[in-house]
Amino acid sequence: MRLLLQNGQILSKDNTLIKQDILIEGSKVVQMASEIQAEDKMHVIPLAGKLVIPGLIDMHVHLREPGFEKKETIETGSLAAARGGFTTIACMPNTRPVIDTPETVEKIIQEAKRVGKARVLPLGAITIRELGQELTDFRALKKAGIVALSDDGVGVQNSHMMKEAMRKAHELGLSIVAHCEDDTLAKSGCVHDGEFAKKHGLLGIPNEAEAIHVGRDILLAEDVGVHYHVCHISTEQSVRLVREAKSRGQKVTAEVTPHHLLLTDREIPGLDPLYKMNPPLRSAEDRAALIAGLKDGTIEIIATDHAPHTLEEKAMGMEQAPFGIVGLETAFPLMYTHLVCTGELLLSELVEKMTRKPAEIFGLPYGELAEGKRADLTVIDLEIEKEIDPASFYSKGKNTPFTGWKCKGWPVLTLLNGMITYQENEK
């Protein structure tokens, strides 16, 4: 099938919008020009000036399957990804069973292909069952199809084991993607160790619980030479440590979530578990450091840490409810409205941090919109303003603190390998 996207706009290198028609044949973009004549047997979609960008890439998603299908499945998570403009998502290994065997990796890849709504890239666990006691078979996991290694959900507590994991990962050309949390400091905290915790008598998680692991891992990775990536960075100290490592030329990268960029513990309205995530919402000073790090390139990519739970689980109260919020269907509108429209980022910078940069960092052949490249793309309506409504989510998870927020920049069309995976008003 030949598909012609007419009267769209693309971003030029100087952040200006230029009119563009895009012709797709099969899985590739074959022509891009200011005007392409429609021919017989072409499927034409008029875009009326909407923005066309490479398909979004999210390197931190929890699809919950296998084991927690009440929260999410590969199918519902992929549908949510497509609706959010994502064509490629990386799923974290804290499922049940954990993604620590080739068989589990292969099952996830096969199910994602069956669904066909998003490209799903599994991360393999660093340790068996994520218990921090014995390393998994990295070579076998890589052969099965993992793109990186992580014990996301828990931090690797044993420094010797982390260094050995880094050494083996480096030998195989795999990245270590770290959930940074020192259990002796985090204990059983449920929110940031700040004024909110004190006011409500809650055990807080201090900044140092994250930053100590970031600093430790940077030193270990420096000795080994592995690519080290910090998950959901949240503190000023962590940003400072990553910046210093980069200044020495070390291969250290970091991601930040929309919720850590937009919210602090000051915005939590009482004991509402929809604001409970790990790492927790930090201070205003931490948020400012995250935005500064994003702007100066210390933090290269935005990732959602999409973490669906049932509403029954989230109703268990601040101390007992599980950590996490959903993010796939709201990430781009939130970032466009509250970072681009406010002047914090250029539109081109936002797009880069959600497309080209994650692909570049993890060596993926995606994230570009050009002739001859894969037809993974997303069409964005920059003008229409809508409220975030969890009832409309394709994800099983409705757990978001952003209900009612008005946003622009909504994805209206998503293509994966030239196939339409989402089109607005066509569920």
DSSP string, 97-154: S-S-SHHHHHHHHHHHHHH-SSEEEEPBPSBGGG-SSSB--HHHHHHHT---B--TTS
Q: Which residues are catalytically annotated?
A: 305
- pLDDT tens readout for residues 130-151: 999 999 999 999 999 999 999 9
pLDDT at 426: 64
The two tokens of residue 271 are 């004991």
Residue 425 has pLDDT above 90, yes or no: no
Distance in angstroms (rounded) separating the CA atoms of residues 214 and 253: 11
pLDDT per residue over 290-340, tens digit each? 999 999 999 999 999 999 999 999 999 999 999 999 999 999 999 999 999
Q: Which residues contact 106 (CB under 8 A, 6 or more apart)?
A: 144, 145
- Residue appearing with tokens 């009482």: 270
The first and second tokens of residue 376, run together, are: 């993974």
List the one residue out of 89, 123, 71, 114 whose CA is nearest residue 393.
71
Tell me the Cα Rg of the chain: 21
pTM: 0.97
Residue 161 has a pLDDT of 98
The answer to whether the bond into 97 is cis (omega within 30° of 0) is yes
Arithmetic mean of pLDDT, 272-296: 98
For strand 252-256 and strand 301-302, is the pairing parallel, antiparallel, or unpaired?
Answer: parallel
CA atoms within 13 A on the CB side of 214: 26
Q: How far, in Å, CA of 5 to CA of 18, rounded? A: 14
Of 307, 274, 253, residue with least CA distance to 91? 307
Round to whole Å and give the CA distance between 241 and 42.
53
For residue range 171-182, list pLDDT tens digits in order: 999 999 999 999
The CA distance from 112 to 117, in Å, is 8
pLDDT at 427 over 60: no
How many residues does the structure list for the chain? 427
pLDDT digits (tens, 9 = 90+) for 59-115: 999 999 999 999 999 999 999 999 999 999 999 999 999 999 999 999 999 999 999
d(CA 152, CA 268): 25
